[in-house]
Amino acid sequence: MAKKKLNKNWLHDHINDPYVKLAQKEGYRARAAFKLKEIDEDEKLIKPGQVIVDLGCTPGSWAQYTRRKLAGKEGGGVNGTLIGLDMLPMEPIADFHFIQGDFRTGPVLRALEGVLAGRKADLVLSDMAPNLSGIATADAARMEHLIDLAIEFSQLHLKPTGALLVKCFKDMGFSQIVEKFRAEFKVVIQKKPKASRDKSSEIFLLGKGLKNPASGSMAIDDEMDDFPLDI
C-alpha cells in the first residue's frame, strides 16, 4: 500500500510540475531540457560552431536544446556538430548524429571517431545515472563508475579548454566525485538548477579546462554488465 501511495504522489507531482507543462508546451521530450538550459545560460557553455557530445542522450531533451541553440535559420541546419550516444534507441532529431550502443565498445567508439573526423569536443554532456539497487554502497559505486567513464571519455575526446557537465547525486559518493573532478579540471562548479526538484539529491558538476588530457584510445570494457547504464 505504501508503494502504491508513493507512486500516486509521484504521478500527482509530475502532472502538476510546471516544468513538465512547459516541456510539453515547448516541444521538449523531457523536463530535463530546462536543467541544461539554466546551466547553459549561467555558464555560457553552448556556442555556435562547437562540437558537442551527449553521453546517455535518450530520450533526447538535451539534444533538442543543444540543437536549438546551434540552429541557424529555419531549415538551414546547425552551426556546429552534435553527437549523441546511448544504449537505448532514440527518435531522430534533425542535424543530430545519434550512435546507439555502449560508448565503451569498439564499434561505437569507431563510429564516434568517424563523425569527429579528427576533431575534439568543446563540450561533453552526461545525464547518465545508474540502475539503482537500493543498496547505498553499491549505488554510490555505480554512480562513481559512470563519472569515471565520463572523465576518461573527456580526457580522450575533449579539447584541453573544453568542459564536462555531469549529473550526480549528493547521497551517492558525491564528495569523492568532487575530488576526482578537482584532480582533473582546472575549474569545478556545482550547479543545482531550479528545474531539479527540491526533494531530489540531484546536482550537476561542471569541470572546465583539463589538467591531464590523455592520448590513445579509451579502454574497452568486456564485462559491462557489472555497471549497467541507465538514464
Annotated binding residues for S-adenosyl-L-methionine, as ranges? Answer: 60, 62, 86, 102, 127
- Binding site: what residues are annotated? 60, 62, 86, 102, 127
What single DSSP character describes residue 224? G
Active-site residue, selected from the candidate residues 167, 194, 208, 211: 167
Q: Could you tell me the three cell numbers for 57? A: 542522450
Give which of 174, 85, 170, 76 is closest to 121, Cα–Cα: 85
> 177 and 201 in contact (C-beta within 8 Å)?
no
What is the C-alpha separation between 161 and 209, in angstroms, rounded? 4
Question: Is there a catalytic annotation at residue 170?
Answer: no
**Residues 105, 220 contacting (CB under 8 angstroms):** yes
First to last CA, the chain: 27
Catalytic residues: 167
